[in-house]
């Protein structure tokens, strides 16, 4: 077989594994790299060259810098203030969407989503709307914002790396901004005017107002309590406090209330209600199964477990173990009421509602690692204005050094990450945990695979077929076709893999039909960051699916018009910017 054929087979197999979702994406990338090495498509000396690529360094540095700013709480404070403006719902939503898109341009878009979700839920609740009215909107807005700068999303950095390897120069920091900003503005405008009205008004069971339904344990019942108060009076006290006894936990047995009466010493009660657990414990004279935190910034928040959370399949005590006792789950949600099991026996599932108690700072740190979305109230960590100002200044200096002074992006952002780490703006263990290592492995392994696709001649073969279809086509239609093909591919793949594959093809297509390679690369950049049709195309869409109560087809209902708008605006802007 020819190298081009072998490369095509490896790539097709890789795409099938990516699309299946049955194997971790980073493992798929490593297997693909191993196959290319065994088949001689990638020289041994170049096997790990992808991990030294500037895009990998920049991604890691940006995640550290963005995390340092996130932990100062300044972004939370700004979005909270914006959400409190007295205005109609569409106006308030528009303000938060613009803020989310702007944050996403300069930091990880999952972090931008996590920062803005509480504000969106807050304004939905203030206008008597379920969170589903705004959560898909903020997901789409943060995706749109990520395409507007070089560092907004890993896919942009990958395409910059492809451009450097093929054309000799990477993208400038704002080179894609004229086209991408116009697309983002049009997209956010559509969401504000039309899109949010198309989202379903569906209660996911995770909307948590002040009277949220929570399930927790009280007890054990003491012998003195039973001597002073009979169990009937105790049960009546609980019900008067709007607490419903769900089960009696006696040793390893779970008994219903009728079977368990009379209550015995050391019995524990599994109860539920729209109450504050601590207040219910005080009124009943029983103790909570969890202790209050002694931290000065202790708070109690309600959160939802996002899809893909490392907590899925583990026990509630995992949170306490992971945080060394600084954060604990004090109550579960409605699913626990249906199961009627001791909380220690519950296994966490995506979409579960958890009530967390502990240090606000530790909750903020842990939430990102665990992909927990705070939906009732946020952990209000104290803001140090000087620290926040310095962190933002370091970030701004890294951007300015790259844009105005021509300093390589990898160097300027790596230096910025070193500065915030040296200043102690991130806890030592958070420096490394803030980096999504699965993405680093995915990119580092796929870069050599992408190069082999180009060097073997496979990319040229695919480009020839595509260029024959686009021969004599106006630039508008050529750009629209490339953006559409990329968008369709991104439905099945993550945007990093899509960018690596389509970036190689786009340059060959541009050379074949005689247009600027940058025109086609930017079309790929837009398409790779336009995952609006399914919940699986982008992590942000997955994260809001549970809290919003969305179904699979809800995304296409809102996202299909947006996808068409993105294709039209991007193609038109490329035509205006690169024609002639």
Q: In the predicted model, what is the mean pLDDT of residues 405-425?
A: 85
User: Is pLDDT of 419 > 70?
Assistant: yes
User: Is pLDDT of 571 > 90?
Assistant: yes
**Of the candidate ranges 133-147, 153-167, 277-291, 364-378, the one whose mean pLDDT is the lowest:** 364-378
DSSP state of 195: I
β-bridge mates for residue 298, sequence order: 359
Ranked by mean pLDDT, the top range of 154-163, 210-219, 404-413 is 154-163
Portion of the chain with pLDDT greater than 70, in percent: 88
The whole-angstrom separation of Cα 288 and Cα 466 is: 66
pLDDT of residue 536: 64
pLDDT of residue 101: 92
Q: What is the pLDDT of residues 194-222, one digit of tens each?
A: 988 888 876 544 333 444 678 888 878 76
Sign of CA dihedral 55, 105, 546, 356: positive
The pLDDT confidence band at residue 173, using thresholds 50, 70 and 90, is confident
Q: What is the pLDDT of residues 432-489, one digit of tens each?
A: 767 777 778 877 888 788 778 777 877 777 777 777 777 777 889 989 999 998 888 7
The whole-angstrom separation of Cα 112 and Cα 571 is: 27
Half-sphere exposure of 252 (CA within 13 A, CB side): 0
Contact 312, 349 (CB under 8 A): yes
Residue in the block written with tokens 């790596």: 414
User: Is pLDDT of 96 > 50?
Assistant: yes
Contact 187, 144 (CB under 8 A): yes
DSSP state of 193: I
End-to-end CA distance of the chain: 41
Task: Please provide residue 427's backbone torsions phi and psi, each rounded to the nearest 5 degrees.
Answer: -60, 145
The pLDDT confidence band at residue 563, using thresholds 50, 70 and 90, is very high
**Of the candidate ranges 34-43, 175-184, 318-327, 446-455, the one whose mean pLDDT is the lowest:** 446-455
**Of the candidate ranges 185-194, 250-259, 346-355, the one whose mean pLDDT is the lowest:** 250-259
* Residue of 548 and 518 predicted with greater confidence: 518
The whole-angstrom separation of Cα 89 and Cα 82 is: 12
Of 349, 305, 322, 539, residue with least CA distance to 438: 539
pLDDT of residue 19: 67
User: Is pLDDT of 565 > 90?
Assistant: yes
Q: In the predicted model, what is the mean pLDDT of residues 373-392?
A: 69
Of 315, 397, 305, 311, residue with least CA distance to 354: 305
Of 48, 24, 20, residue with least CA distance to 34: 48
The whole-angstrom separation of Cα 333 and Cα 354 is: 6
Centroid of chain to Cα 504: 27
Q: What is the pLDDT of residues 540-552, one digit of tens each?
A: 786 677 667 788 7
Tokens of 393: 């200044």
CA distances (Å), 63 to each of 66, 331, 526, in order?
A: 5, 32, 22
* Residue of 333 and 564 predicted with greater confidence: 564
β-bridge mates for residue 247, sequence order: 270
What region does 219 belong to: left with phi over 0, alpha with psi -120 to 50, or beta? left
Mean residue pLDDT of the chain comes to: 81
Alpha helix (H) residue ranges in 127-199? 135-146, 154-167, 177-190, 196-198
In the chain the domains, ranked by start, together with CATH numbers, are 3-205+435-578 (no CATH), 208-374 (3.30.70.1450)
Residue in the block written with tokens 């100062």: 72
How many residues are listed for the chain in this entry? 580
The pLDDT confidence band at residue 228, using thresholds 50, 70 and 90, is low
**Which residues lie closer than 8 Å to 343 by C-beta, 6 or more apart?**
215, 216, 217, 270, 289, 316, 329, 332, 336
DSSP state of 514: T
User: Is pLDDT of 368 > 70?
Assistant: no
pTM assigned to the model: 0.67
The whole-angstrom separation of Cα 202 and Cα 429 is: 39
pLDDT of residue 230: 62
pLDDT of residue 204: 46
Contact 117, 138 (CB under 8 A): yes
Q: In the predicted model, what is the mean pLDDT of residues 236-263?
A: 79
User: Is pLDDT of 381 > 70?
Assistant: no
Burial class (CB in 10 A: 0-12, 13-18, 19+), 580: exposed
> Other CB atoms closer than 10 Å to residue 475's CB: what's the count?
23
Of 52, 69, 3, residue with least CA distance to 399: 69
pLDDT of residue 208: 37
* Residue of 71 and 561 predicted with greater confidence: 561
Identify the three-state secondary structure at position 347. strand
Contact 436, 63 (CB under 8 A): yes
Portion of the chain with pLDDT greater than 90, in percent: 13
The pLDDT confidence band at residue 21, using thresholds 50, 70 and 90, is low
pLDDT of residue 544: 78
Q: What is the largest CA-CA distance in the chain?
A: 92
């Amino acid at each position: 077989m020819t190298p081009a054929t072998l490369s095509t087979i490896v790539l097709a197999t890789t795409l099938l594994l990516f699309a299946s979702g049955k194997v971790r994406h980073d493992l798929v990338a490593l297997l693909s790299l191993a196959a290319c090495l065994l088949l001689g498509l990638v020289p041994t000396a170049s096997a790990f060259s992808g991990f030294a690529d500037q895009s990998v360094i920049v991604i890691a540095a940006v995640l550290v810098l963005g995390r340092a700013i996130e932990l100062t709480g300044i972004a939370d404070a700004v979005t909270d203030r914006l959400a409190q403006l007295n205005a109609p719902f569409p106006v308030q939503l528009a303000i938060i969407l613009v803020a989310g898109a702007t944050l996403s341009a300069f930091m990880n878009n999952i972090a931008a989503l996590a920062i803005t979700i509480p504000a969106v839920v807050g304004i939905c609740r203030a206008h008597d709307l379920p969170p589903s009215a705004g959560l898909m909107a903020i997901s789409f807005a943060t995706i749109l914002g990520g395409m507007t700068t070089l560092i907004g999303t890993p896919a942009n950095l990958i395409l910059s790396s492809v451009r450097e390897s093929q054309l000799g120069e990477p993208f400038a920091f704002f080179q894609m901004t004229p086209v991408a900003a116009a697309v983002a503005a049009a997209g956010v405008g559509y969401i504000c005017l039309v899109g949010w009205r198309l989202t379903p008004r569906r209660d996911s069971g995770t909307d948590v107002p002040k009277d949220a339904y929570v399930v927790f344990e009280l007890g054990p019942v003491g012998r003195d309590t039973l001597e002073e108060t009979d169990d009937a009076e105790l049960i009546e006290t609980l019900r008067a406090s709007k607490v419903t006894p769900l089960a009696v936990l006696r040793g390893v047995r779970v008994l219903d209330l009728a079977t368990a009466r009379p209550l015995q010493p050391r019995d524990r009660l599994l109860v539920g209600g729209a109450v504050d657990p601590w207040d219910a414990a005080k009124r009943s004279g029983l103790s909570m199964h969890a202790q209050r935190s002694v931290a000065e910034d202790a708070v109690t928040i309600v959160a939802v477990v996002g899809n893909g959370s490392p907590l899925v399949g583990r026990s509630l005590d995992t949170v306490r173990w992971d945080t060394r006792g600084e954060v604990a789950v004090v109550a579960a949600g409605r699913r626990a009421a249906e199961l009627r099991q001791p909380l220690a026996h519950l296994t966490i599932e995506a979409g579960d509602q958890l009530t967390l108690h502990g240090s606000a700072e530790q909750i903020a740190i842990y939430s990102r690692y665990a992909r927990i979305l705070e939906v009732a109230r946020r952990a209000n960590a104290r803001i140090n204005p000087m620290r926040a100002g310095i962190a933002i200044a370091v970030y701004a200096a890294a951007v300015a050094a790259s844009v105005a002074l021509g300093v390589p992006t990898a160097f300027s952002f790596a230096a910025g990450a070193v500065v915030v780490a040296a200043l102690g703006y991130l806890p030592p263990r958070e420096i490394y945990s803030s980096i999504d290592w699965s993405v680093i492995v995915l990119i580092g392994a796929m870069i050599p695979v992408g190069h082999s696709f180009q060097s073997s001649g496979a990319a040229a073969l695919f480009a020839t077929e595509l260029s024959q279809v686009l021969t004599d086509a106006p630039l508008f239609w050529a750009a629209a076709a490339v953006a559409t093909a990329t968008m369709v591919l991104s439905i099945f793949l993550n945007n990093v893999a899509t960018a690596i594959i389509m970036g190689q093809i786009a340059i060959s297509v541009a050379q074949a039909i005689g247009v600027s390679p940058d025109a086609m690369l930017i079309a790929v950049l837009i398409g790779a960051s336009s995952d609006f049709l399914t919940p699986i195309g982008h992590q942000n869409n997955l994260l809001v699916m549970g809290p919003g109560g969305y179904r699979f087809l809800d995304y296409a209902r809102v996202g299909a018009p947006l996808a068409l708008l993105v294709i039209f605006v991007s193609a038109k802007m490329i035509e205006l910017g690169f024609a002639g």
